[in-house]
Structure 1
Amino acid sequence: MRDEPWDILHLDIADGLAEVAQRERGVLLVLWWRTLPLGTKALLPAETPLAGDQLLALAAQLVADQAAARGAGLASPPRAGVDGQARSALTLDEAAALPVLDALEAAAAPAAADARPLSVVVCTRRRPDMLSACLASLARQASAPGQVVVVDNDPAASARPVAYGRAGVTYVHEPRPGLSIARNAGLDAADGEFIAFTDDDVELHPTWTAEIRRAFSRPEVDAVTGLVLPARLETAAQRAFELHLGGFTSRFTPLLFDGGFLQETWEMGPQVWRIGAGANMAFRRASLAGLGGFDERLGAGASGCSEDSEFWYRILAAGGRCLYEPRAVVFHHHRRDWRGLRQQYRAYMKGHVAALVVQADRYGAPGDLRRIRRQLPVYFARTGLSAIQTLDGWRLRLLMEEVIGWGLGLQYLLRPRWRRRAQAAVGPRPAVQLGAPQHA
């Protein structure tokens, strides 16, 4: 993969479509309707210039998808199916009859929700420059949150000079390593009715806090996740993660995840990671505290990752709902080099296996252990065959890290003390009988 920087070009098509000029390097187009993200399109230099009618053809499908997902007459966002994609909410005739532009304008209208009941928790470890940029983006929010909590997970307290003394910022030093430990420390220090979490390598769209609050205007929603766009595509590793591996989230229409999502995937292993990304998530405080906070056996600094998806699993199992709302946008600084990306993928797989063990122990879902023993090896084989056929050496190297992470994760099956570890944090048993029919 050639190591030539790509540009990111944000285009607002609400006031007309202009052509994309000839580019000397690749470009990721991000199309918007005012503050509503519509979709992305990666273009090689040879695919430019892009005429206005070509851009219109691209935008038309994205606009239609938005109108169908947010159209008048829908009582709630479409429900997520087994694959984490929207179940059909409207018939073709109904979608064709929608006033598309009206639906877009309504969806893109500025959120009027007051963000003061929101506490934002930023966990950080030894990245003061990134933390400074993150806090600067929080200071530019159209609706200021009631509180910003910075949790410094560095024993040397390297974030103190960045965070201490900033208006509206509560600084917490938590020297015990582990992202779940840091997030729970942030929860303890937060006083808002709603708690949002983001990371120090993220910068926030100016409407982010207002959109998080708007999403919670639906009383049935216990957790919210949002869209994660790349902040830069300057290196081959960043482009591989975003353009070839799918990045963090690539959906631009809302989705509602409920207990039915768990039931439908009970035998195959619920794919709760499809709900969103921990860099852009929020909770009702009552739901987060009521289920005990994050499991400190999981996450960066412990088993690797998946403390966020494991908590979403608990919410759904307890009868709650998670809303993916891409109007809440953040920009993530992906790993710049291959070494960092390989470490990330090893940690992801190790943490994923650990979370599957935790979920199987807690709820007895047969699909969780089946995914470890059967589905993941099949995934490795298929991915490896595809990478060999396409001569993608970089993908084979990442796959090797995933296999190593899987092997490291298997240790948790053989650690009864770790599996039995009591944590006040595990929360109640499911409010519904999972695996049995659930009625509305």
Structure 2
Amino acid sequence: MTAQSLPVRHIDLSTTHKDTHGGDAAAFSVFWWKDLPLGMRASLPEELPFGEAQLRQFAAEFGAAQLAARSPTLGAPLRATFEGRPKQALILAHLLGADNLVDQLDRLAAPSGMSAQDISVVICTRDRGEALAGCLKSVTTQQTPPSEIIVVDNSVDGNAKSICRRFPEIRHVHEPRPGLSVARNAGIRASCGEIIAFTDDDVELHPSWTAEVGRAFLDESIDALTGLVLPAQLDTPAQRIFQLDMGGFGTTFVPLRFDHRFLEETRPHGAHVWKIGAGANMAFRRKMFERIGLFDERLGAGAAGCSEDSELWYRMLANGGVCLYEPRAVVFHHHRRELSELRQQMRSYMRGHVAALVAQYDEFGDRGNLVRIFGQLPIYFLRTFLKGLLEGRNGRPETLTAEVAGWTAGLQFLFRSGWRRQRAPRLSAGGAGQ
């Protein structure tokens, strides 16, 4: 399936009853019920087009999963633990037979209508003007405008300023010190909103993104939010390998609640905080930063390489915080187009992942982080190698080699005592960094 371009198509099951796909090529289908994302599926040419009965079955199965996860009478949203899936499966058959499935899906898909006046949107960028322009167009055309939009320009010469001038509502902040965490912290300090939402310059937002962020934070128990990251296109082998073979940025279409219990259940083997979401689609209450600190500037692109977001989630959960994964908040990500770019990305991801595990061990003394480094990751490498060997996955050995190289490079942080003594910067209650 990775040999040719894979068109990404969006199917609204509330209105589509006949698939018009020609059936002579593979396709990647994202299913919706109006503006509610339901699921996705990669299909071979012989599996297409979908029949009318098949589309109805998709609507029933995907819809039942949504109702199972979102019904208050069933304890929604599901807790992000190993108990979530069995609980959902037990009630799936009952919901499949619901006569009012369409009505209930219409209710779930209704626009939130929430104000975004307490939301500051922060976009960090570095030398990617063309991508930034597309991102800003999607931010400035939101159905519910945020209170402010801040572009933190992490380039040396502030070259994003010319792009920002095209959008009068954008505030340009130049932060020449390199590093994504440094840039994000600059955005937090420059912002005024009680909710600070982040996205990346290689992302385009669904028109209802800010409204869905606002709806999620109506729950006062929520400290942070992550959302669904869909592929914008799957035109190149690198994009298809990342999405289909490596799972992209996640494939979950139902809301999940990540709390201290999730941390405790996964802690012995290195808490699986990377499953919470992606930095391309996340938001936080300002009070959370005041309580636990800002992004760790040792981590992230331009520093150790990655995982500054997952380390912050780890720190938040360890301090009793709660993060909601809400797939109604949708963004579309432009994956790396070239295999060389993907290999570099995977090396950076793994190097940063190991660095974050070291930082988490130093902060909280959880030995599961070391188990992850020296136990789980080598097993993952071996399993991935054997799977690629048996299935003949094109390109996967190259990305696996990059991941192993990143893991090896990440081990250096275990021996850098000065680096290990550092901690994340703080944010004062008034908003100024300390």
Going from structure 1 to structure 2, the CA distance change for 1:171 and 1:426 (only over 3 Å counts) comes to closer
Q: String of CA shifts for 1:69-96, please: whole Å, max 9, x gaps.
A: 112424541101149x656268437646
Q: State the distance in 2 between where 1:24 and 1:360 align.
A: 52
The percent identity for this pair of structures is 50
Structure 1 residue identity aligned to 2:348 = A
- Does residue 103 (structure 1) correspond to residue 104 (structure 2)? The answer is yes
Which residue of 1 is the match for residue 250 of structure 2?
249
- The within-5 A match list for 1:2-401 is 2-82=2-82, 86=85, 88=87, 91-92=90-91, 95=95, 99-164=100-165, 166-401=167-402
Going from structure 1 to structure 2, the CA distance change for 1:368 and 1:18 (only over 3 Å counts) comes to same
Q: String of CA shifts for 1:46-78, please: whole Å, max 9, x gaps.
A: 222221112222332111111111124245411
Alpha-carbon RMSD? 1.9
On the 8 A contact 1:70/1:103 being kept in 2, the answer is no
Q: State the distance in 2 between where 1:354 and 1:426 align.
A: 23
Shift of 1:423: 4.1
Structure 2 residue identity aligned to 1:88 = K
Structure 1 residue identity aligned to 2:357 = L
On the 8 A contact 2:13/2:55 being kept in 1, the answer is no
Q: State the distance in 2 between where 1:151 and 1:426 align.
A: 18
Q: State the distance in 2 between where 1:136 and 1:118 align.
A: 18
Q: State the distance in 1 between where 2:311 and 2:86 align.
A: 23
Shift of 1:31: 0.8
Q: String of CA shifts for 1:405-440, please: whole Å, max 9, x gaps.
A: 00000000011111012443499xxxxxxxxxxxxx
On the 8 A contact 2:65/2:88 being kept in 1, the answer is no
Shift of 1:240: 1.1
| Secondary structure, counterpart of 1:329 in structure 2 | strand
Q: State the distance in 2 between where 1:294 and 1:154 align.
A: 19
Q: State the distance in 1 between where 2:161 and 2:85 align.
A: 43
- Of 404-413 and 391-400, the range deviating more from structure 2: 391-400
How does the TM-score come out when normalised to structure 1?
0.93
Which residue of 2 is the match for residue 438 of structure 1?
none
| Secondary structure, counterpart of 2:152 in structure 1 | strand
Gaps of 5+ in 2: 429-434
- Of 25-34 and 294-303, the range deviating more from structure 2: 25-34
| Secondary structure, counterpart of 2:79 in structure 1 | coil
Going from structure 1 to structure 2, the CA distance change for 1:426 and 1:414 (only over 3 Å counts) comes to farther
Which residue of 1 is the match for residue 431 of structure 2?
none
Q: State the distance in 1 between where 2:82 and 2:187 align.
A: 33
How does the TM-score come out when normalised to structure 2?
0.94
| Secondary structure, counterpart of 1:148 in structure 2 | strand
- Of 158-167 and 334-343, the range deviating more from structure 2: 158-167
| Secondary structure, counterpart of 1:396 in structure 2 | helix
Structure 2 residue identity aligned to 1:205 = H
Structure 1 residue identity aligned to 2:27 = V
Going from structure 1 to structure 2, the CA distance change for 1:225 and 1:407 (only over 3 Å counts) comes to same
Q: String of CA shifts for 1:197-232, please: whole Å, max 9, x gaps.
A: 000000000000000010001110000000000111
Structure 1 residue identity aligned to 2:258 = F
| Secondary structure, counterpart of 1:105 in structure 2 | helix
| Secondary structure, counterpart of 1:267 in structure 2 | helix
Going from structure 1 to structure 2, the CA distance change for 1:426 and 1:274 (only over 3 Å counts) comes to farther
| Secondary structure, counterpart of 1:330 in structure 2 | strand
Q: State the distance in 2 between where 1:338 and 1:165 align.
A: 33
Q: State the distance in 1 between where 2:14 and 2:394 align.
A: 41
On the 8 A contact 1:237/1:341 being kept in 2, the answer is yes
Gaps of 5+ in 1: 428-440
Q: State the distance in 2 between where 1:289 and 1:234 align.
A: 42
- The within-5 A match list for 1:398-417 is 398-417=399-418
| Secondary structure, counterpart of 2:279 in structure 1 | coil
Structure 2 residue identity aligned to 1:12 = D
Q: State the distance in 1 between where 2:55 and 2:104 align.
A: 20
- Of 45-54 and 410-419, the range deviating more from structure 2: 45-54
Shift of 1:374: 1.0
Q: State the distance in 2 between where 1:190 and 1:28 align.
A: 38
Structure 2 residue identity aligned to 1:394 = G
On the 8 A contact 1:295/1:426 being kept in 2, the answer is no
Shift of 1:288: 2.2
Shift of 1:376: 0.7
Structure 1 residue identity aligned to 2:222 = V
Q: String of CA shifts for 1:342-391, please: whole Å, max 9, x gaps.
A: 01110110000000000011011111011101111111111111111122
Q: State the distance in 2 between where 1:226 and 1:393 align.
A: 30
- Of 59-68 and 93-102, the range deviating more from structure 2: 93-102
Going from structure 1 to structure 2, the CA distance change for 1:57 and 1:384 (only over 3 Å counts) comes to same
| Secondary structure, counterpart of 2:270 in structure 1 | coil
Q: State the distance in 2 between where 1:131 and 1:187 align.
A: 19
Which residue of 2 is the match for residue 433 of structure 1?
none
- Length, aligned pairs only: 426
- The within-5 A match list for 1:401-440 is 401-425=402-426
On the 8 A contact 1:86/1:255 being kept in 2, the answer is no
